[in-house]
Amino acid sequence: MSIIIETMKGAKTEEVPVWIMRQAGRYLPEYRKLRATLPSFMEFCLNPEVVSEATIQPLKRFDLDAAIIFSDILVLPYALGVNVEFHNREGPKLKRVQGIKGLRTDSRILEKVNSALKITQQKMQKEFPNKALIGFAGAPWTVACYMVEGKGSKDFTNVRKFYYSNKQAFEDIISMLTEETANHLINQVKSGAQIIKIFDSWAGILTPDLFEKFVIDPTKKIVQMVKLEVGEIPIIGFAKGAGFMTFEYAKTTGISCVAVDQTMKMSWIRENLGQDIIPQGNLDNALLFSDKNDIEEEAIKILDTFSDCPFIFNLGHGILPETPIESIEHLVKVIKSYKKCSQINK
Q: pTM for the complete prediction?
A: 0.96
Segment 99-124 mean pLDDT: 97
Give the pLDDT of residue 344: 44
Q: Choose, from 146, 163, 249, 338, the residue flagged as catalytic.
A: 146
pLDDT in tens, 196-225: 999 999 999 999 999 999 999 999 999 999
CB 139 within 8 A of CB 154: no
* Distance of alpha carbon 234 from alpha carbon 312, whole angstroms: 13
Please pick, among 72, 78, 261, 338, the residue that the annotation labels catalytic: 72
| pLDDT score of 15 more than 80 | yes
pLDDT for 346 beyond 50 = no
What pLDDT is attached to residue 90?
79
What is the mean pLDDT of the segment spanning 100-113? 96
Ramachandran region, residue 68 (left: φ > 0; alpha: ψ -120 to 50; beta: rest): beta
Q: What per-residue confidence (pLDDT) applies to 341?
A: 57
Q: Is residue 275 pLDDT above 80, yes or no?
A: no
35-48 average pLDDT score: 97
Among the options 27, 31, 32, 35, which is catalytic? 35
Percent of the residues in the chain that have a pLDDT greater than 70, as a whole number: 97
CB 231 within 8 A of CB 107: no
The rounded distance, in Å, linking the Cα atoms of 222 and 238 is: 14
**Per-residue pLDDT, 274:** 62
Q: Which amino acid is at 148?
A: V
Give the pLDDT mean for 288-292: 98
Query: Does 306 have pLDDT greater than 70?
Result: yes
Q: pLDDT category, 26, cuts 50, 70, 90?
A: very high
| Closest by CA position to 283, among listed 310, 311, 260, 308 | 260
Q: Quick check: is 72 catalytic?
A: yes
**Residue-range domains of the chain with CATH:** 3-345 (3.20.20.210)
DSSP structure class, residue 22: T
Cα–Cα distance measured from residue 241 to residue 78, given in angstroms and rounded to the nearest whole number: 26
Q: For the chain, list the strands marked E by DSSP.
A: 66-68, 84-87, 91-94, 132-138, 195-200, 235-239, 257-259, 278-283, 312-315
Greatest Cα-to-Cα distance within the chain, rounded to the nearest angstrom: 59
Burial of 277 (0-12, 13-18, 19+ CB in 10 A): buried
Left, alpha or beta for 243 (phi > 0: left; psi -120 to 50: alpha)? Answer: left
Report the alpha-carbon distance of residue 203 to residue 215 in Å, rounded: 7
Question: How do residues 64-98 score in pLDDT, each as one tens digit?
Answer: 999 999 999 999 999 999 999 998 777 899 999 99
Band of residue 191 on the pLDDT scale cut at 50, 70, 90: very high
Mean pLDDT of the chain: 95
For 180-193, what is the mean pLDDT? 99
Catalytic annotation on 22? yes
- Percent of the chain residues topping a pLDDT of 90: 93
Is pLDDT at 2 greater than 70 in this prediction? yes
Query: How do residues 234-248 score in pLDDT, each as one tens digit?
Result: 999 999 999 999 999
Strands 312-315 and 278-283: parallel
Confidence category of residue 1, pLDDT binned at 50, 70, 90:
confident
Which amino acid type is present at position 334?
Answer: V
Query: Is the predicted pLDDT of residue 342 greater than 70, yes or no?
Result: no
Mean pLDDT for 6-11 is: 93
77 backbone dihedrals φ, ψ, rounded to 5°: -60, -30
